[in-house]
Structure 1
Amino acid sequence: MNDIPAHLTEEVHLAFPSRDNLAIEARKLDFFYGKTQALYGVDLPVERHKITALIGPSGCGKSTLLRALNQIYDLYPKQHAVGRILLDGHDVLADRKSLSRLRERDGGGDDTMVRSPIDIAGLRARVGMVFQKPTPFPMSIYDNVAFGVRLYQRKSRAEMDVIVEKALRRAALWDEVKDKLHSSGLGLSGGQQQRLCVARGIAVEPDVLLLDEPASALDPVSTAKLEETLIELRQDFTIVIVTHNLQQAARISNHTGFMYLGRMMEFQPTEELFANPRGQRTRDYVTGRFG
């Protein structure tokens, strides 16, 4: 594989939590769009029942890293990852093709990692994703929430009613929609649609919920409501959020990773990263000298 360009060889500052309580972890992860490398040896530890924020300038690889965690890139044949992605200690990248690429990169590679028994569909049930733009399906609010559950489980109507209500309550949306569950989800406001997408994502009880700039298109009131929801949800779920809003990362996250040109340049507890960044590039970014 390609060597890391010279301008990316500067020192990184990584203060990782203990691996004993990680929900998902990336180790030395490279990512390619065709022959173009977008991630270089990225390590990302995601602690269970915490919020981990990813920050950095546009094009630094934040969203690419997020998409690698639940392998949504698998829909595009020319995209691939090389490295390790561990879910509960099992490698979800340990298929034959990925191991071959890993051996090529590392000159042999470590084949001792235990391969995850789950397939792509199972992975996406356990690692859910909410996108930048709200993506409600053209169906009722109820059916939006029930959609994923129906893919993986057979439930009675009474059981599904309980699941839908629980997910909507967790997403702080129940009181606003309980009298119109069979109305189209497309009729909700932008902020409500995004919380509906959160409800749809958590209805299947994932281990990890990934959010790619979920508040970028929302007004301040809707953003505040979404942030309150995420803080509540971390009691039950592990959350990774990509954001360009540094104040948002500071408000809601427990750990923050700063990325630049495809590398994880700094990873610290959030208060530490913003109050005392170790790297000059991180310091310049969080103080607004570049972005």
Structure 2
Amino acid sequence: MTNRYLNRRDLVAAGALDWDAALADVHDALALLRDGKAEMAAENVLPLGTDPRAKGYGLPARVGGRFAAAGLKWTIHRPEAPQGGEAITSRTFLDDLDTGLPMGVVDSAMLTRVRTAALSGAVVRALKPRVRRVAILGAGAQAEMHLRMAQAVLPDLAEVHHWTRSGRALQVPEGVLVRSHKTASAASLAAEVTFACTSAPEPILGPEVMTRGALVLQTGFHEVSFDAIDRADAVTCDLWGDFARTSAKSLFQMHRAGRFPASRVAADAPAILLDGWRPDPAACVYFSSFGLNIFDIALAARLMRRATDLGLGQILTD
């Protein structure tokens, strides 16, 4: 197999924004993990200064089946985008599991956002398939990607309720009503489903948002207060693993503070997407999305194989 590099344009041309394919990748990667045909090692975390949001992460995984790849995603998170740069930069290095040969390198900053939004979409489609009103908190790249996903996978979407500290507007498609709110809580309370996609170092959502039938998905840094998580009828997450000891996500901070035992997790992503776990319709559900290494490798491998078939990307020489 030829060793190649894929930039964002190559990834889009290979189908990175095909949401049906991305949701299928998430489902299949979880099924392979359950069958012992996929595996993740705990992430390596490299602090990049005193700000807890400034870190480098190394996330290795292997995913068998149709992906047949092993690899490492190396990503750097900064609190703010530096001048002339980006807040998050990321590359994924892939090897073919069958041959042991390198497949190539993927610019995976955009792909990270796709896989995160794909998991959110899969969870919402499973738990609230007829949702009409969503809240999006934040106006950065992850918030924009969640909006793209919501357009594609939520056919009844009619209203987007938005809040961001920066005041920057989202690019909302024609035919969808958008309302801006002065607080994160107000946006969340106006919606059935909330996508929290910010880098907030302190909670912006309190227990008041955990109302009857609400679904709150946290993909950002530390957006949901411990009291809010306590108020939820069902606390769910993508997976409970070794990262519970190190992650700065709200749920794992709460766990390390002794306020949330692992036994209280009502369901994880495999239970929701593979086993059909469903809460009472009136239950308030909180979902903490950490981001699983297997999703990074699965999406990158599918797109690398497709790009190779299409002749996309830059060939890397010895």
The TM-score bracket by the shorter chain reads 0.3 to 0.5
Higher relative contact order (CA 8 A, sep 6+): 1
Q: TM-score, normalised by structure 2?
A: 0.31
Q: TM-score, normalised by structure 1?
A: 0.33
